Amino acid sequence: MIINDDQLGWFSRYPPAHAVWLIPGVAVGYPRLMVAVAAFISAWFLIKAGEKLKISTWIIAGLLLLSPYFWLMQGSVLSHTSGLAGTAIMIWAYLVWLQDRSASYAAIAGLAWAFLFLNRTYTALWIALPFAVDALLRLFYCRTRNQLIGTLAFAGCAATGVVIYLLYNAATTGNPLMPAFLVYNPTDGPGFGNRHGGKFSPADGWEFIIYDLTTLNVRLWGFTGSLVAWLALAIAGWKKGITPLMLSATFLVWLGYMGFWFIGIPQVAPVYYYETLAFMILTAGMGLSRLFGLLNQFSHWARIVVALLVVSVVGKYAVTTFNTYADVITKRHKFKSAYQQVIHDVPPGSIVLLNHVPKDILDETSWNPHGLKSDPLIMRDGYGVLHPIYYLFPNRSVYKVKGYSPKPAQPINHVGGKIAPIHANQMRANTGLLTDNLRESRILAEAPIHKKGFLGNSFYQYLIPGEYEVKYYIEASGTGNMVIGKLDLVSNSGKDVLVQQDIFPGDTEVTLNVVLDKITLAEPRIHFSGNGRLGFDRIEIHLIKSNVEHTY
């Protein structure tokens, strides 16, 4: 997702590492080249880490190659692909440091974590906890100068990722502690409550964990019970100091994403667990090494036959599972390609509004690689976006692509930039009673039947710079100077009040005047105080004077 703001410029709402990683591929016109490089690096350093744990190369390679999860994820261009590479390098360098006591490898491990932090920040934080504890415990039990230097090198190099992230935030949002994704949406981070996708509770988070683990139980190696098999292998190959470290990192990441509102992409799920695949492959590899060690009493050919049987059986399930989901993904890609063709079939210089299209289509096509110079310019149809389009892009034709199947784009009239009336049944309310029929739409609240609350809110409208009249059509009754409610126009999720006024008995048509100096996503609201009687019909927003200084 790209944020466009006159002060911010153009940049990703995510940390910069993966975007930087893809640059060589983008430069040669094939971003997936760097995903392939990430897959190679992941495999190479996991094999090297396995050697430090006395795991045969073919075991690590086999566990990766037989994992549909690995192939499905590496078939994407998601940041998790380079995230796995960073995790693999970190594990390898950390293991080398533990065995060789070389501070340079501790530094490499720290730098690899820094890359991960600049890529998958939330994941990196959970992975950091067990590694930090492990490093400090080893320093506590081995208080040597060499161990201290290595620990400081590990921590210091890891800290460079944090410093770069703070500088990146300062350069993009003006606040070192304000990530770009929170500019995109203040509720886009981890935690419970009202989030980007709606209300998010611990129960929802627990459902996410169940879904992700159930999915991983099949996709890890293609057969139902893959996750159980992994855990059994991890226990069978238990190594003091190593297995607890890797299991802790794995489980902490899994539990951590219980507190994140977005479940990920079902076709390649569980997306957010992908970096933990490095730990899972190594712990399973330790278990397989120990089990195959028990076969040493048998002949060389007998061991080969057993290995081939295991690979054949697991491979059959892995290939079947991969093909099943790869087929789904392939069909989806063809569907997306058809949608993109419809979008780009419009005349040159057009604007395309996407309306009620499938979410993944919306997410992957509603971006403009060349900013305002993109042709066509693609926007999401919502929040009355036709109003600013009329004034900001007066020379562009507007087309709408609508529906869950790719149909030809339909031309849309600008209708003079007029803002459509907002009726009671279009807004949310947490009190009152809605009367909705063909002739009228009204919500009515009356004390003491109805509690205080909003008769209308959560309807948003983009407004250009200018002078406005906001007309509220209501009917208020009560006694004396009783305050029946309040009308206001707010922005920034209610944090900024643009204009407000109390409602008194006898009010029927109330006009609020407001002057805006920038494009604003405004929210008109009607609040019932719990006194008297208040009816609400509609809101009309009229532009009196446009203060748009330049058009595009």
List the single range of 51-60, 139-148, 182-191, 265-274 with lowest mean pLDDT: 182-191
Q: Mean pLDDT across the chain, nearest whole number? A: 88
Instruction: Quote the pLDDT of residue 197.
Output: 67
Q: Are 510 and 501 in contact (CB under 8 A)?
A: yes
pLDDT in tens, 402-422: 877 788 888 987 666 678 899
List the single range of 93-97, 240-244, 314-318 with lowest mean pLDDT: 314-318
Instruction: Quote the pLDDT of residue 4.
Output: 44
Instruction: Quote the pLDDT of residue 11.
Output: 60
Over residues 151-157, mean pLDDT: 97
Instruction: Quote the pLDDT of residue 414.
Output: 64
Instruction: Quote the pLDDT of residue 190.
Output: 86
pLDDT at position 9 over 70: no
pLDDT tier at 499, thresholds 50, 70, 90: very high
Assign a CATH topology to domain 419-546.
Answer: Jelly Rolls (2.60.120)
pLDDT in tens, 347-359: 998 999 888 887 7
Q: Are 330 and 341 in contact (CB under 8 A)?
A: no
Q: How far apart are CA 510 and CA 469, in angstroms?
A: 10
Domain ranges of the chain: 2-297, 343-415, 419-546
Q: Are 470 and 543 in contact (CB under 8 A)?
A: no
pLDDT at position 493 over 90: no
pLDDT at position 6 over 70: no
Helices 79-100, 121-141: axis angle to 10 degrees equals 10
pLDDT at position 509 over 90: yes
pLDDT tier at 112, thresholds 50, 70, 90: very high
Instruction: Quote the pLDDT of residue 159.
Output: 97
List the single range of 50-54, 310-314, 334-338, 375-379 with lowest mean pLDDT: 310-314
Record the pTM: 0.74
User: Would strands 410-412 and 193-195 be described as parallel, antiparallel, or unpaired?
Assistant: unpaired
List the single range of 243-247, 359-363, 526-530 with lowest mean pLDDT: 359-363
pLDDT tier at 8, thresholds 50, 70, 90: very low
Instruction: Quote the pLDDT of residue 292.
Output: 82
* pLDDT-above-90 percentage for the chain: 56
Instruction: Quote the pLDDT of residue 415.
Output: 64
- Length of the chain as a residue count: 552
**Higher local confidence (pLDDT), 294 or 72:** 72
Report, in angstroms and rounded to the nearest whole number, the Rg of the chain calculated over CA atoms: 29
User: Of 436, 363, 441, 351, whose CA–CA distance to 401 is shortest?
Assistant: 351
User: Of 332, 318, 208, 334, whose CA–CA distance to 269 is shortest?
Assistant: 208
348 preceded by cis ω (within 30°)?
no
Backbone angles phi, psi at 516, to 5 degrees: -110, 135
Over residues 373-392, mean pLDDT: 87
pLDDT in tens, 169-183: 998 888 999 888 887
Instruction: Quote the pLDDT of residue 439.
Output: 59
Over residues 473-500, mean pLDDT: 93
The secondary structure of 322-349 as a DSSP string is HHHHHHHHHHHHHHHHHHHHHHHTSPTT
Instruction: Quote the pLDDT of residue 183.
Output: 78
pLDDT at position 43 over 90: yes
Backbone angles phi, psi at 510, to 5 degrees: -110, 130
pLDDT at position 133 over 50: yes
Instruction: Quote the pLDDT of residue 501.
Output: 96
Strands (E), 381-532: 398-402, 410-412, 422-423, 433-436, 441-446, 453-456, 461-463, 466-477, 485-491, 496-503, 509-516, 520-528
pLDDT tier at 193, thresholds 50, 70, 90: confident
Over residues 21-31, mean pLDDT: 88
Over residues 22-34, mean pLDDT: 88
Q: How far apart are CA 306 and CA 166, in angstroms?
A: 53
pLDDT at position 211 over 90: yes
pLDDT at position 204 over 50: yes
Q: How far apart are CA 91 and CA 108, in angstroms?
A: 10
User: Of 45, 39, 98, whose CA–CA distance to 71 is shortest?
Assistant: 39
pLDDT in tens, 220-234: 998 999 999 999 999
List the single range of 94-103, 367-376, 423-432 with lowest mean pLDDT: 367-376
Helices 226-236, 243-256: axis angle to 10 degrees equals 150
* pLDDT-above-70 percentage for the chain: 94
Q: How far apart are CA 195 and CA 202, in angstroms?
A: 13
pLDDT at position 342 over 90: no
